[in-house]
Amino acid sequence: MEFLLDGLKALTWQQVVMYAVGIALIWLAIKKEYEPSLLLPMGFGAILVNLPLSGVLDQTLQGGIASNGIIEWLFHVGIEASEAMPILLFIGIGAMIDFGPLLSNPLMFLFGAGAQFGIFAAILLAAALGFSLQDAASIGIIGAADGPTSILVSQIMNSKYIGAIAVAAYSYMALVPIVQPFAIRLVTTSKERKIHMEYNPSSVSKSMRIAFPIVVTIIVGFVAPQSVALVGFLMFGNLIRECGVLGTMSDTAQNNLANLITLLLGITISFSMRAEQFVTVETLMIMAIGLFAFVMDTIGGVLLAKFMNLFLKKKINPMVGGAGISAFPMSSRVVQKMAMEEDPTNIILMHAAGANVSGQIASVIAGGMVINLVTKFLA
Amino acid sequence: MNMENVFAALSIMWKGMGGIFVTILIIMISVWIMGKIGSKK
């Protein structure tokens, strides 16, 4: 009966660490409700792929019999070969986004751009800490505050840290209510946080809502072709939502498609959470750099708002700039909550929501820019 | 520290942020034009 002990004999301490990581992710998902749709499958997947001789991974059995593993296959087909899973998820995300607050107040577009600063600051820090340019770019993109973009860029960059990057991206997205208030308070005064903003939305016609995703796709396609897969599928989802004749398809994209892909993406990405890859000093460094990226994103957006206030008659509450990250709608809610803590009558939610959806567009443009620039440097 | 990578990262930062702002500005102008056309109709 000694064969029953084969698994136990093959166990390593790193695998035990990964069980603890997996259980911690499941706990965060269930108890704290931190991105449960992603962290729970990732946590369970982390346990699955780290069981000794696990059947979810490809292996050669005794007698030379090859055995294919489902998670390894999903990773090769759904992420490695085509990046299909993160890209398809963008259809669902696009169908969920209402660009109305942004279209009625286009000035908010700028904050989406400003709040991508953390990506580049993190790339610089990662490069300074000794990561290769591809890995630094993959780590920096955690600052996009956008899980699928992080997975896609790190896969295209062929980074071996894709598992740690995905964990960092989704963990910090869930921790936006803690990270952003800290970063915003670092660079704003109480007086600035009390600034009121009038909200006089211009009406957004249906034709404008339909034209917007098409126009954005064409513009970004010309300027940053590497972003087309991301922006194109995001805008395709939005067009389905706004066209008005594909109601059931829009519902399917927002719910069934997004849920199905998210479920599979979570458990598939756990392939890159195998102990030998994950239990390293680099993983801790990636988590720290990811946090730095989120803080610098927020600071970048806030400082842009403060800079614009030097020239504007009607001042902008600088916290709105911090909402220009892609974590929607959490970031705009956090900013509104902070505004009400300073002054219960201060309502800046719609401005923050405009900046927040701009962050969705800007983060995928940033992903394309990073791919474009890094590959040019490596050429 | 690999200074070559650090300088490359600085260049990526400069060009990347510039590229994002230019793209966003073009989108803003397009939205403004679409708004003007829509309001005339």
Looking at residue B41, its pLDDT comes to 63
Inter-residue contact A71 to A45 (CB < 8 Å): yes
Inter-residue contact A268 to A88 (CB < 8 Å): no
pLDDT one-digit tens code per residue, A276-290: 888 899 999 999 999
Nearest CB to A370 within list B1, B16, B27 = B16
**Amino acid (one-letter) located at A13:** W
Interface test with A, best of B4, B15, B24, B39 (most A CBs within 10 A): B24
Beta-carbon neighbour count of residue A177 at 10 Å? Answer: 15
- What are A60's strand-pairing partners? A66
What token pair was written down for A287? 């988590």
Provide CB contacts within 8 A for A198, sequence distance 6+.
A314
Looking at residue A226, its pLDDT comes to 82
> Taking CA atoms, what residue in B is nearest to A378?
B8
Nearest CA to A262 out of A74, A51, A92, A18 is that of A92
Provide CB contacts within 8 A for B39, sequence distance 6+.
none
Query: Half-sphere exposure of B30 toward its Cβ, with a 13 Å CA cutoff?
Result: 19
What token pair was written down for A76? 């090769």
Beta-carbon neighbour count of residue A11 at 10 Å? Answer: 15
d(CA A70, CA A53): 14
Looking at residue A349, its pLDDT comes to 94
Is a pLDDT exceeding 70 seen at residue A34? yes
| Interchain CB contacts (distance < 8 Å): A and B | 112
Beta-carbon neighbour count of residue A110 at 10 Å? Answer: 23
> Sign of the CA dihedral A75, A293, A321, A171?
positive
DSSP A256: I
Contacts of B31 in chain A (CB under 8 A): 103, 106, 109, 208, 212, 215
- H/E stretch holding A350 reads helix A349-378
Nearest CB to A128 within list B1, B15, B26 = B1
Percentage of chain B exceeding pLDDT 90:
63
Alpha-carbon separation of residue A326 from A323, A330, A374 (angstroms)? 8, 9, 22
The whole-angstrom distance between B23's CA and the closest CA on chain A is 7
- H/E stretch holding A74 reads helix A70-75
d(CA A263, CA A318): 36
> Sign of the CA dihedral B8, A278, A365, A325?
negative
Inter-residue contact A354 to A324 (CB < 8 Å): no
| Phi/psi at A190 (5° precision) | -60, -40
- What are A59's strand-pairing partners? A67
The whole-angstrom distance between A160's CA and the closest CA on chain B is 18
HEC letters along A97-127: CCCHHHHCCHHHHHHHHHCCHHHHHHHHHHH
Is a pLDDT exceeding 70 seen at residue A324? yes
Interface test with B, best of A102, A105, A109 (most B CBs within 10 A): A109
Which residue has 């909550």 as its token pair? A337
Inter-residue contact A197 to A316 (CB < 8 Å): yes
Query: Half-sphere exposure of A300 toward its Cβ, with a 13 Å CA cutoff?
Result: 28
Residue with the larger pLDDT of the pair A8 and A76? A76
CB contact under 8 A, B8 and A133: yes
Contacts of A369 in chain B (CB under 8 A): 15-16, 19-20
Inter-residue contact A112 to A360 (CB < 8 Å): yes
Contacts of A107 in chain B (CB under 8 A): 28
The whole-angstrom distance between B2's CA and the closest CA on chain A is 6
Contacts of A113 in chain B (CB under 8 A): 17, 20-21, 23-24
- What are A66's strand-pairing partners? A60
Nearest CB to B16 within list A216, A220, A366 = A366
Residues of chain B that touch chain A, judged by Cβ-Cβ distance less than 8 Å: 1-2, 5-6, 8-13, 15-17, 19-24, 26-28, 30-32, 34-35, 38
Nearest CB to B15 within list A208, A211, A373 = A373
d(CA B30, CA A329): 25
pLDDT one-digit tens code per residue, A243-277: 999 999 999 999 999 999 999 988 998 898 899 88
Q: Residue B37 — pLDDT band, cuts 50, 70, 90? A: confident
CB contact under 8 A, A124 and B6: yes
pLDDT one-digit tens code per residue, A118-162: 999 999 999 999 999 999 999 999 998 888 899 889 989 999 898
Is a pLDDT exceeding 90 seen at residue A319? yes
Contacts of A124 in chain B (CB under 8 A): 6, 9-10, 13
Cis status, amide bond into A201, omega within 30 of 0: no
CB contact under 8 A, A109 and B17: no
d(CA A261, CA A230): 15
Inter-residue contact A145 to A359 (CB < 8 Å): yes
CB contact under 8 A, A136 and B9: yes
Looking at residue A298, its pLDDT comes to 96
CB contact under 8 A, B24 and A208: no
Average pLDDT taken over every residue of chain A: 91
| ipTM confidence score | 0.93
The whole-angstrom distance between A177's CA and the closest CA on chain B is 26
Interface test with B, best of A105, A214, A215 (most B CBs within 10 A): A215
* Residue ranges per structural domain of chain A: 2-378
